[in-house]
């Protein structure tokens, strides 16, 4: 079997060389999945990236590349992102990708999650300490803003933290904190409620 | 039990859906035979009208070809580095643009060593596609789906040992025929079933299962002879154990090669399915602009404005009409001003996650097993192995080493790096061909839901989605038309893509004849 797989390894290497030879608009691939201006595409469950803090984007790309995120067998969406991040890292273009996303024009996403924001407000108290009372985030704590995100994606991630699809890797210290917090959200309804409340927050600056 | 004509039609409907009822009714002289779908007669002149086509898949290329013939100014924007959409054939040196796992096809440089990653077969009633093949000089040859010499393998029966397809099909039929012949009671039949009918039904069962004069199934040459020594008397194989055969869920796919779109005779273009694309491109290639990814679509009071990215720059252009075959699940992420009830459909139809592997084999070992073309089926993840019907008796050949239908199996392969995908497919293929691994020289894998500029296979339409969304998505939003197999009742087939393009063009033609301003059925 080893003898057989050797040609495949050569083939993969070739593939890297061919694709990296193509200069120019490689980052347009980001927009293919994540939509115009990387404002997200629910159609393929690709979250909004534009407007996310560069340090947070960089950390998540590093996590995907290192297998800290996207490794569990059941995380189909994470599996799609992980090899992309790995290639960016191997090509040394991870920072450039983050910069490209930062150059885009972020739009305010539509609310899609139905929940009880009043109940969600009480639950949000556990989030506010790190992510801010207005969901504005806190760079000092490495906590990203929560406003103006794909709200369905917040639901997915809270669920992933709860089930261990995210944050279970021992290298993921921030993820471990999030797992503990997500565990306090007792069910899907609680998650929907807290995200419905996040949808009412404005962050720090008015958004378009 | 009284069997009326209406009863029969209801049964046919229960088994085969309304299409079966319709066909059966046609057979019984109840309905007229419908006219064959014809290419729309575009009568309005497209002079001074511009049509922008988004996507150079089969529907986009069909539209470009027809509209440019009728005087329309046509431009095709294609996001990928190549035209064709899911009509994609890889051969020596082809680039496989998969998100995360780009590959290069490492097959030998040889006209017979190619792999059809998307569509791979054409039935005789796909008259529109066949018409274009004829018109565009795309040479066709037979494609084999159904090969009784191919294998059926399921871990659930015979301890996982493969049996020939002919054994499964003939021995189960013999068993069922014997059982039924023995259990139908002449006295219980009343009404239109006469004693003569009962005799005729028993005769039918005899030939259906090849039963002996006592209506007993003792084996048949249909399941293959024990030996093919033609200097000695024929020896039938002993029938396989029915209880063992019935343990397999192969029954769910055993009739695959009998269905409307899969039954013999099937065809394929000589040299690869992308010869169809090449045929269109010979006519309209100069109108196709590659590596141009649409970012915004704005429907105007008259016409449509489209913004795309090329070489990292945004370019905006306008047209009187837009025909758009961008997959709906990607369109959902593109900025637009479509009516909310129209755009809501983009995310309502799940995307397909079909997956394929092609292996270049250094020897055509299957031919030594009496297999020339056709499909072996397995209940493992890889589901099927296809043997090429072209290049027979040459040294090497490309087999299809996996073709999964279920999203779960597709995801299982897609999340592995290509080398691991091959390893899994080889291990499973070895249950059918023990020396499988030793023949594999190189491989390609196509995870359609991770292929760039597609990110999905055919739209997974079914009821009630058709009822809820189809008409809305088929109707234009202003001068914007969705096309592609995704807006047809035949998703996953090029014929469906062409039908959608013809439908949209007929609508544009009607609008132009009516003065170019009227919005028809929208």
Domain ranges of chain B: 1-34, 50-84+275-350+460-513, 89-150+263-273+354-450, 164-247
Contact at 8 Å (CB) between B445 and A28? Answer: no
- Topology of domain A10-102 in CATH is Cytochrome Bc1 Complex; Chain D, domain 2 (1.10.760)
pLDDT for B47 equals: 80
**Least CB–CB distance from B309: residue in A28, A43, A76:** A28
Question: In this complex, do A43 and B423 lie within 8 Å of one another by their Cβ atoms?
Answer: no
pLDDT for B34 equals: 40
Token pair of B264 as six digits: 């013999």
Query: A90 to chain B: nearest residue by CA?
Result: B100
List CB contacts (< 8 A) between A9 and chain B. Answer: 419
Question: In this complex, do A11 and B437 lie within 8 Å of one another by their Cβ atoms?
Answer: no
| CATH (one of 3.90.1150.10, 3.90.660.10, 3.40.50.80, 1.10.4190.10) for B89-150+263-273+354-450 | 3.90.660.10
Per residue in A24-41, pLDDT (tens digit) is: 468 999 999 999 999 999
Rg (CA), chain B: 26
How far, in Å, CA of A136 to CA of A158, rounded? 18
Kindly give the parts of chain B with pLDDT less than 70.
Answer: 1-38, 188-191, 516-522
Question: In this complex, do A11 and B100 lie within 8 Å of one another by their Cβ atoms?
Answer: no
Chains A, B: CB contacts within 8 A come to: 130
Q: Compute the nearest-CA separation of B489 from chain A (Å).
A: 21
Query: B443 to chain A: nearest residue by CA?
Result: A8
Question: In this complex, do B419 and A32 lie within 8 Å of one another by their Cβ atoms?
Answer: no
Q: Compute the nearest-CA separation of B161 from chain A (Å).
A: 22
pLDDT for B322 equals: 98
- Tokens 């000089």 sit on residue: B137
List CB contacts (< 8 A) between A84 and chain B. Answer: 99-100
Please state the pTM of the whole predicted model.
0.89
How far, in Å, CA of B157 to CA of A170, rounded? 43
Query: A150 to chain B: nearest residue by CA?
Result: B333
- For A25-56, b/e burial (b = at least 16 CB within 10 A) is bbbbbbbbbbbbbbbbbbbbbbbbbbbbbeeb
Question: In this complex, do B333 and A44 lie within 8 Å of one another by their Cβ atoms?
Answer: yes
CATH architecture of the domain with residue range B50-84+275-350+460-513: 3-Layer(bba) Sandwich (3.50)
How far, in Å, CA of B111 to CA of A169, rounded? 48
Token pair of A157 as six digits: 């991630």
Residue B7: which H helix or E strand, with range?
helix B5-27
Least Cα distance to B28 among B60, B6, B13, B43 occurs for B6
Contact at 8 Å (CB) between B479 and B72? Answer: no
Per residue in B393-425, pLDDT (tens digit) is: 999 999 999 999 999 999 999 999 999 999 999
Q: Which CATH class is domain B164-247?
A: mainly alpha
Mutate to test the interface with A, among B102, B106, B406, B410 (most CBs of A within 10 A): B102
How far, in Å, CA of B368 to CA of B397, rounded? 13
Q: How confident is the model at residue A73 (pLDDT cuts 50, 70, 90)?
A: confident
Q: How confident is the model at residue A17 (pLDDT cuts 50, 70, 90)?
A: very low
CATH architecture of the domain with residue range A117-198: Orthogonal Bundle (1.10)
**Least CB–CB distance from A35: residue in B96, B333, B411:** B333
How far, in Å, CA of B347 to CA of B469, rounded? 11
Tell me the mean pLDDT in the region A49-77: 95
List CB contacts (< 8 A) between B95 and chain A. Answer: 18-19
Three-state secondary structure call for residue A32:
helix
Residues β-bridged to residue B305: B298, B318
Cis peptide preceding B265, ω within 30 of 0: yes
Contact at 8 Å (CB) between B456 and B351? Answer: yes
Question: In this complex, do A8 and B422 lie within 8 Å of one another by their Cβ atoms?
Answer: yes
Q: What is the dihedral of CA B503, B505, B510, B513, to 10 degrees?
A: -170
pLDDT for A22 equals: 42
Distances (CA, A) of B266 to B85, B97, B317, B518: 22, 29, 42, 42
Mutate to test the interface with B, among A13, A32, A49, A69 (most CBs of B within 10 A): A32
Domain extents in chain A? 10-102, 117-198
Three-state secondary structure call for residue B382:
coil
φ and ψ at residue B445, rounded to 5 degrees: -130, 140
φ and ψ at residue A148, rounded to 5 degrees: 55, 35
pLDDT for A20 equals: 42
Question: In this complex, do B99 and A36 lie within 8 Å of one another by their Cβ atoms?
Answer: no
pLDDT for B15 equals: 40
Question: In this complex, do B311 and A24 lie within 8 Å of one another by their Cβ atoms?
Answer: yes
Q: Compute the nearest-CA separation of B145 from chain A (Å).
A: 29
φ and ψ at residue B13, rounded to 5 degrees: -65, -40
List CB contacts (< 8 A) between A73 and chain B. Answer: 415
Contact at 8 Å (CB) between A71 and A82? Answer: yes
């Amino acid at each position: 079997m080893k003898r057989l797989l050797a040609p495949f390894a050569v083939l993969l290497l070739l593939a890297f060389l061919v694709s990296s030879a193509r200069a120019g608009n490689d980052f347009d691939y980001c927009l293919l999945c994540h939509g115009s201006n990387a404002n997200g595409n629910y159609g393929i469950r690709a979250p909004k990236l534009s407007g996310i803090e560069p340090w947070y984007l960089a950390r998540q790309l590093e996590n995907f590349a290192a297998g800290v995120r996207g490794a569990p067998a059941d995380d189909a969406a994470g599996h799609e992102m992980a090899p992309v991040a790995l290639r960016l890292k191997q090509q040394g273009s991870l920072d450039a990708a983050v910069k490209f996303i930062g150059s885009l024009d972020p739009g305010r996403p539509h609310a899609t999650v139905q929940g009880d924001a009043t109940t969600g407000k009480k639950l949000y108290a556990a989030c506010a300490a790190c992510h801010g009372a207005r969901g504005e985030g806190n760079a000092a704590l490495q906590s990203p803003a929560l406003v103006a995100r794909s709200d369905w994606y917040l639901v997915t991630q809270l669920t992933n933290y709860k089930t261990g699809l995210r944050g279970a890797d021992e290298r993921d210290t921030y993820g471990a904190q999030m797992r503990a917090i997500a565990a306090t959200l007792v069910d899907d309804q609680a998650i929907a409620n807290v995200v419905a409340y996040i949808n009412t927050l404005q962050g720090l600056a008015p958004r378009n | 039990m009284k069997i009326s004509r209406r009863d029969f039609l209801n049964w046919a409907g229960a088994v085969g859906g309304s299409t079966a009822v319709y066909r059966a009714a046609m057979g019984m002289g109840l309905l007229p035979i419908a006219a064959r779908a014809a290419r729309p007669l575009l009568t309005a002149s497209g002079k001074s009208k511009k049509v922008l086509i988004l996507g150079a898949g089969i529907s986009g290329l069909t539209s470009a070809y027809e509209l440019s013939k009728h005087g329309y100014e046509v431009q095709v924007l294609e996001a990928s580095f190549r035209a064709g959409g899911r009509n994609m054939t890889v051969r020596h040196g082809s680039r496989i643009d998969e998100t995360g796992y780009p590959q290069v096809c490492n097959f030998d440089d040889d006209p017979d060593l190619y792999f059809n990653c998307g569509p791979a077969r054409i039935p005789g009633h796909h008259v529109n596609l066949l018409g274009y093949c004829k018109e565009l000089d795309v040479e066709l040859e037979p494609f084999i789906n159904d090969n009784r010499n191919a294998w059926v393998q399921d871990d659930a029966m015979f301890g996982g040992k493969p049996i020939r397809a002919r054994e499964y099909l003939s021995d189960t039929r013999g068993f069922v025929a014997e059982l039924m012949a023995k259990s139908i009671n002449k006295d219980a039949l009343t009404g239109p079933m006469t004693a003569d009918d009962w005799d005729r039904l028993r005769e039918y069962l005899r030939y259906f299962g090849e039963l002996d004069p006592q209506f007993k199934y003792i084996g048949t040459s249909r399941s293959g002879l024990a030996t093919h020594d033609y200097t000695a008397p024929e020896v039938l194989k002993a029938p396989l154990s029915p209880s063992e055969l019935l343990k397999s869920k192969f029954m769910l796919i055993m009739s695959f090669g009998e269905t409307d779109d899969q039954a013999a005779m099937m065809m394929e273009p000589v040299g690869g399915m992308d010869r169809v694309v090449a045929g269109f491109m010979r006519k309209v290639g100069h109108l196709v602009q590659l590596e141009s990814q649409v970012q915004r679509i704005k429907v105007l009071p008259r016409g449509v404005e489209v913004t795309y990215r090329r070489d990292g720059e945004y370019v905006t252009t306008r047209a009187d009409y837009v025909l758009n075959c961008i997959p709906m699940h990607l369109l959902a992420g593109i900025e637009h001003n479509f009516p909310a009830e129209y755009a809501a459909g983009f995310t309502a139809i799940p995307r397909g996650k079909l997956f394929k592997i092609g292996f270049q084999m250094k020897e055509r070992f299957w031919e030594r097993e009496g297999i020339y073309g056709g499909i072996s089926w397995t209940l493992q993840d890889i589901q099927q192995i296809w043997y090429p019907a072209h290049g027979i008796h040459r040294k090497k050949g490309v087999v299809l080493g996996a073709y999964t239908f279920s999203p779960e199996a597709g995801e299982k392969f897609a999340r592995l790096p290509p080398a691991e995908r091959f390893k899994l497919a080889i291990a499973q293929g070895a249950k059918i061909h023990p020396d499988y691994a030793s023949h594999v020289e190189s491989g390609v894998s196509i995870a359609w839901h991770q292929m760039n500029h597609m990110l999905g296979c055919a739209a997974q339409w079914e009821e009630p989605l058709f009822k809820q969304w189809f008409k809305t998505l088929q109707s234009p939003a202003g001068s914007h038309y969705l096309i592609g197999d995704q807006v047809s009742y035949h998703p996953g087939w090029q014929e469906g893509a062409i039908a959608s393009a013809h439908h949209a063009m007929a609508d544009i033609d009607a609008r132009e004849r009516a003065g170019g301003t009227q919005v028809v059925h929208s």
